[in-house]
């Protein structure tokens, strides 16, 4: 695990409660926009995992408030939520979700899964750590399993990486490490590990290209 990832995890471990509070405040500023974003994400999740039978086991890496895990569970899947920060873990447990403390770069997955969901997590991973995560997920998935994840598009930034504390939804009063990816880099990692690209999207931002979204199949 990189120094960048370790330091960022330490930040979230201490300030997760601020992230949870600021996210609520941010959504309350424009409830209509927040609802539209939520429905768009839920539609993506539903379509990405639609090929999996009801009752399939799905693991979420970095569940934060547990909203995404709760939605996945509502689709009829058997969900395991995870995070590294105690405040995030308590938030997901309060929603009745099965939750474990889990560091994907250091811990082994408890079992095999049909799907893995990893949303706004790889933004804090170096390229080397990202490759490690993708490989570990591949090894933890059953045949034909699905990985759904996103990263911030390097083409929308003027740097490969930075330490920053964004305003609004992500404001926590302390800088975290952010890494930005080009599609070519990720395609190379995906090919190296052995995943097949099942679907790909660009989404968000002024030009609808802030996020690179991948649906991979083992």
Q: What residue segments make up the domains of the chain, in order of their start? A: 3-217
The pLDDT assigned to 168 comes to: 64
Q: Which residue, among 192, 199, 201, 202, has the nearest Cα to 216 in the 3D structure?
A: 199
Least confident of 20-29, 82-91, 163-172, 207-216: 163-172
The pLDDT assigned to 143 comes to: 97
d(CA 69, CA 81): 6
Over the chain, what is the mean pLDDT? 94
The pLDDT assigned to 128 comes to: 97
For 150-168, how does the pLDDT look when each residue is reduced to its tens digit (9 = 90+)? 999 999 999 999 999 877 6
Write the CA distances from 115 to 79, 110, 139, 198, integer angstroms: 9, 14, 12, 13
Angle at 93 between CA 87 and CA 94, to 5 degrees: 90
**SS3 of residue 206 by DSSP:** coil
For 47-57, how does the pLDDT look when each residue is reduced to its tens digit (9 = 90+)? 999 999 999 99
Higher pLDDT, 23 or 4: 4
* CATH architecture assignment, domain 3-217: 3-Layer(aba) Sandwich (3.40)
d(CA 49, CA 41): 12
For 164-184, how does the pLDDT look when each residue is reduced to its tens digit (9 = 90+)? 987 766 677 889 999 999 999
For 85-139, how does the pLDDT look when each residue is reduced to its tens digit (9 = 90+)? 999 999 999 999 999 999 999 999 999 999 999 999 999 999 999 999 999 999 9
Write the CA distances from 163 to 88, 96, 121, 180, integer angstroms: 22, 34, 15, 12
The pLDDT assigned to 172 comes to: 79
pTM here is 0.95
The pLDDT assigned to 169 comes to: 62
Q: What is the mean pLDDT of residues 189-206?
A: 95
DSSP 47-68: HHTTTSPTT-EEEESS-TTSHH
Reported confidence tier of residue 23, pLDDT bands at 50, 70, 90: confident
The pLDDT assigned to 61 comes to: 98
The pLDDT assigned to 21 comes to: 85
């Amino acid at each position: 695990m990189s120094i960048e990832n370790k330091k960022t995890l330490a930040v979230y471990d201490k300030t997760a409660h601020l992230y949870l509070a600021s996210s609520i405040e941010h959504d309350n500023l424009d409830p209509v926009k927040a609802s539209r974003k939520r429905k768009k994400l839920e539609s993506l999740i539903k379509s990405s995992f639609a090929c999996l039978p009801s009752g399939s086991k799905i693991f979420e890496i970095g569940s934060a408030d547990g909203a995404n895990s709760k939605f996945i569970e509502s689709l009829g899947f058997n969900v395991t939520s995870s995070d590294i920060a105690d405040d995030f873990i308590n938030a997901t447990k309060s929603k009745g979700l099965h939750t474990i403390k889990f560091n994907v770069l250091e811990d082994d997955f408890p079992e095999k899964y049909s799907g893995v969901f990893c949303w706004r997590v790889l933004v804090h991973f170096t390229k080397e750590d990202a490759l490690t995560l993708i490989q570990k997920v591949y090894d933890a998935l059953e045949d034909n399993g699905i990985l759904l994840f996103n990263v911030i598009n390097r083409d929308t930034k003027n740097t490969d990486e930075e330490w920053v504390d964004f305003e609004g939804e992500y404001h926590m009063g302390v800088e975290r490490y952010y890494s930005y990816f080009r599609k070519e880099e990720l395609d190379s990692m995906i090919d190296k590990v052995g995943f097949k690209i099942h679907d790909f999207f660009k989404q968000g931002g002024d030009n609808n290209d802030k996020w690179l979204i991948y649906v991979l199949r083992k």
